[in-house]
Amino acid sequence: MTTPVTLAIDTARERLQLALILTDGTADTEIRDIAKGHAEIIFPAIDALLARHGLAYKDLQRIGVSTGPGSFTGLRIGLSAARGLGVALDISVIGIPSLVALSLSRPGPSELIVDARRDQAYRQRFSGPGKPLGAPELADLTQSLETAARTAPDDPTIDIVLLARFAASADPAAFPPDPTYIRPADAKPQTRAQVARQ
């Protein structure tokens, strides 16, 4: 059984991560450390990844994308690119929450505690890779580490190849490409120049 040609995109943090899974199951990656400017480089980076294997966009059969939590702007760029390609190519786009993606590198049951800043943590338990036990929660970072008998939170870096392999076989209906927000966005509507209502 051949593997669908799958592109994975992760822009949730201060890097652009891409992975390509080919029909024989082999993988290739394009990873660039970048705090800002994902929008300017994402498509040239995808072009380069495809070109290395003599492929074009029309050869893609699936797209996987991380949905957060993560950088608000970064997430929107990755999700917009994935959704746009999905519509243009008429292929499935699989949205994978960042904590689910992180669980893929844990071989058995796990509990993820990721620093969410402001002394908070994103916390979720899994019965196995990609198998959550309940919804993620926002919790106190120090208390979460104490109850889990840990001194530091988990590394929030997603293994983009594992995300791509998961997306290659995941049910699109179970993983829609919608942003995952555990904490409300920091952005506030501007009111300084707002016209008073009558």
What are the sequence ranges of the domains in the chain? 6-105+156-174
Pairing of strands 15-21, 27-33: antiparallel
Angle, vertex CA 153, rays to CA 151 and CA 154, nearest 5: 125
Report CA-CA distances (Å) from 123 to 29, 36, 108. Answer: 28, 26, 17
- Residue 71 pLDDT > 90: no
The confidence score (pLDDT) of residue 151 equals: 94
Summarised one tens digit per residue, pLDDT across range 100-141 is: 999 999 999 999 999 999 999 999 999 999 999 999 999 999
* C-alpha Rg value of the chain to the nearest Å: 18
Percentage of the chain exceeding pLDDT 70: 92
Name the CATH code of domain 6-105+156-174 (choices 3.30.420.40, 3.40.50.720, 3.30.505.10, 3.40.50.300).
3.30.420.40
Indicate the pTM of the whole model.
0.90
Maximal C-alpha separation, the chain:
66
- Residue 188 pLDDT > 90: no
Residue 187 banded pLDDT, cuts 50, 70, 90: low
The confidence score (pLDDT) of residue 181 equals: 86
CA-wise closest residue to 8 among 25, 24, 23, 30: 30
Residues 126 and 113 sit within 8 Å (Cβ to Cβ): no
Average pLDDT, the chain: 92
- Residue 163 pLDDT > 80: yes
- Could you tell me the two tokens for 42? 């994402």
